[in-house]
């Protein structure tokens, strides 16, 4: 009996590890091509053909993953999307899981995708609940440390290529701030590295929660 229980537990563990590995590693190029064919067939009207590959991870509505592993791109500023995609294409910004797809885009496709994502409506899933006091405190800390570049309400800034942050997933914001602090992306995050070093650590969580809550979002 015990042997069966142990065997069952081992099998369950192997399956779980397998699923976790598949979820973390993303598809191979051949798998991605097959997925893209399906995604092209289910694409909503107006979606650029070049976005089919992207939709396999970022989804048709640009909502990514609420746990923040994949950022929300719908409603992101056009200038920020262009800036990121041109740098990904040139290899000055590296995101290994995405590099083959971003490198394959030509400039016209970059423009089409940026236009398309920027006008998609923001989806509103998985926003943290905030008390009145938390909202006031988060807004004040954000105003003090971040608003000069990311805009009064987190709407972003075209001239600085500062991302629209309001309504972005909490997990993504946290991870990107940790990466900036640890200098994971080197020069690509140079501006944010200088900022994160100046902000008291205990201020970051209230700011991130206020941004993810998205109440401050004004029209871009
Ligand atoms: C295999 C899955 C996958 C595919 C396909 C994919 N992406 Fe991504 N994308 C990701 C992940 C994961 C991240 C977050 C990376 C990070 O935070 O380090 C991301 C991040 C981004 C970002 C934000 C970059 C930043 O500075 O953090 C943009 C813009 C983007 N993707 C656009 C695209 C476009 C356009 C395509 C299609 C040409 C595409 N992606 C295809 C997984 C994918
Ligand atoms: C001096 C200007 C400046 C200030 C101040 C600043 N940022 Fe940024 N931030 C930027 C720029 C520019 C980028 C885009 C970097 C890039 O393209 O990779 C950015 C990127 C980010 C990103 C990654 C977004 C993405 O799309 O990948 C996060 C998260 C972020 N900032 C959060 C914050 C928070 C929170 C604060 C306040 C504590 C803050 N920033 C203050 C300029 C600034």
Give the model confidence (pLDDT) of 25-63 as tens digits: 666 777 777 777 777 777 888 899 999 989 999 999 999
Ligand 1: list residues with CB < 6 Å: 26, 53-54, 56-58, 69-71, 73, 81, 84-85, 95, 97-98, 101-102, 105, 113
Quote the ligand 2 centre to 50 CA distance (angstroms). Answer: 27
| CB 168 near ligand 2, within 6 Å | no
Which pLDDT belongs to residue 22? 47
Q: What is the pLDDT of residue 56?
A: 92
Give the pLDDT of residue 16.
Answer: 46
Residue nearest to atom 8 of ligand 1 (CA): 98
The residues near 111 (Cβ < 8 Å, ≥ 6 apart) are 82
176-200 as b/e: b if 16+ CB within 10 A: bbebbbeeebeebbeebbebbeebe
Q: What is the pLDDT of residue 19?
A: 45
Which residues in the chain come in under a pLDDT of 70?
1, 3-27, 125-126, 215-216, 218-220
Nearest to 102 by CA among 85, 79, 81, 82: 85
Q: What is the pLDDT of residue 3?
A: 66
């Amino acid at each position: 009996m015990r042997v069966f229980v142990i065997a069952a537990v081992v099998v369950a563990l192997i399956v779980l590890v397998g699923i976790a590995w598949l979820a973390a590693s993303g598809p191979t190029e051949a798998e991605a091509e097959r997925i893209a064919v399906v995604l092209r067939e289910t694409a909503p009207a107006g979606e650029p053909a070049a976005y089919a590959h992207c939709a396999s991870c970022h989804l048709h509505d640009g909502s990514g993953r609420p746990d923040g592993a994949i950022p929300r791109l719908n409603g992101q500023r056009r200038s920020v999307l262009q800036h990121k995609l041109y740098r990904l294409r040139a290899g000055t910004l590296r995101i290994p899981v995405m590099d083959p797809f971003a490198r394959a885009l030509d400039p016209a496709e970059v423009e089409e995708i940026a236009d398309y994502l920027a006008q998609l409506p923001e989806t509103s899933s998985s926003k943290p609940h905030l008390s009145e006091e938390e909202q006031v405190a988060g807004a004040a800390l954000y105003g003090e440390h971040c608003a000069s570049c990311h805009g009064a309400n987190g709407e972003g800034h075209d001239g600085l290529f500062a991302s629209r942050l309001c309504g972005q997933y909490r997990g993504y914001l946290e991870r990107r701030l940790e990466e900036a602090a640890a200098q994971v992306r080197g020069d690509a995050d140079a501006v944010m590295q200088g900022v994160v070093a100046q902000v008291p650590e205990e201020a970051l969580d209230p700011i991130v929660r206020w941004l993810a809550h998205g109440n401050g979002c004004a029209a871009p």
